[in-house]
Amino acid sequence: MASSSSKAGNIRGRQAVAVVVGVLLASGVGWFLASFRAGEKLRQLSYDSLLIMRGELHPTEAVVVYLDDQSHTILDQPRNKPWSRKLHAQLVGRLRLGGASAIVFDIVFSDSDPESDPLLAAAIKQHGKVILAADRTVIAGGGTKFDTPCDALLDVAADIGSDERWPDSDLVVRRHTIRHPDELVGVMSWVTAQALEAPITTVPGEESRPRWLN
């Protein structure tokens, strides 16, 4: 009996040691990943590898409209100043007729354009769920400020959202931006979800929960 009890005690002792060693190793790996550049690369690789193995997905619930080089050429728009807002007004009208539930502009219309603002404002008001961008910048002393749309467009927009992004060191965006504490302007993706009455926006605390992009 004494021999059996001794063996059982030795086994439990080795198990306890194994658990402690495992916890220390896991903590060490976590500290390494959080503290060193090599650890950041491993985190990025683990994220990228999962998406590569999954393969491409083609979302059908959203469409991205690019202001790319070809668009500049075809629409005869300047490359050194903002596009005509008359074109943006036409786009809003077409998207409304196409059944777009919401329209999000990743453009900060901060300067007034008396000639075309009324056209864009009318199109935004007619649609009813157009979200415009606000630019968050850090000012001297560590504070922040937002460049918001001009009054003519701000008055008719459904809401405004921060267009801030959080890229990693390799300039790839892998995580959702989280709203900064005590700031009045929400993050554009969350503001859009609220405009569309997504169920998750009614759950307390979800707006500030860290998320990886799918």
| CB-based contact 120:91 (threshold 8 Å) | no
| CB-based contact 92:119 (threshold 8 Å) | no
CA dihedral 83, 85, 90, 92 (to 10 degrees): 100
Q: Picking from 72-81, 113-122, 189-198, which range would have the lowest pLDDT averaged per residue?
A: 72-81
The three-state secondary structure class of 99 is coil
Residue 94 has pLDDT above 70, yes or no: yes
User: Phi/psi zone of residue 112: left (φ > 0), alpha (ψ -120 to 50 degrees), beta?
Assistant: beta
The three-state secondary structure class of 117 is helix
List the structure tokens of 68. Answer: 């790319």
80 against 153, higher pLDDT = 153
Separation CA 45–CA 101 (nearest Å)? 35
Res 87: pLDDT: 94
What's the longest Cα–Cα distance across the chain? Answer: 97
Q: How many Cα atoms sit within 13 Å of 213 on the Cβ side?
A: 13
Give tens-digit pLDDT for 97-147: 999 999 999 999 999 999 999 999 999 999 999 999 998 887 777 777 888
16 against 76, higher pLDDT = 76
Res 78: pLDDT: 87
Model-level pTM greater than 0.85? no
Per-residue confidence band for 89, with pLDDT thresholds at 50, 70 and 90: very high
**Alpha helices, DSSP H, located in the chain:** 2-35, 37-54, 69-74, 85-97, 117-127, 151-154, 188-195
Separation CA 87–CA 123 (nearest Å)? 11
Separation CA 116–CA 87 (nearest Å)? 9
Separation CA 117–CA 172 (nearest Å)? 34
Separation CA 85–CA 112 (nearest Å)? 10
| CB-based contact 118:86 (threshold 8 Å) | no
Q: What is the mean pLDDT of the chain?
A: 85
| CB-based contact 195:160 (threshold 8 Å) | no
The three-state secondary structure class of 168 is coil
Give tens-digit pLDDT for 173-186: 999 988 877 778 88
74 against 16, higher pLDDT = 74
Q: Which residue has the tokens 């959202």?
A: 161
Residue 200 has pLDDT above 80, yes or no: yes
Handedness of CA 87, 90, 96, 99 (dihedral sign): negative
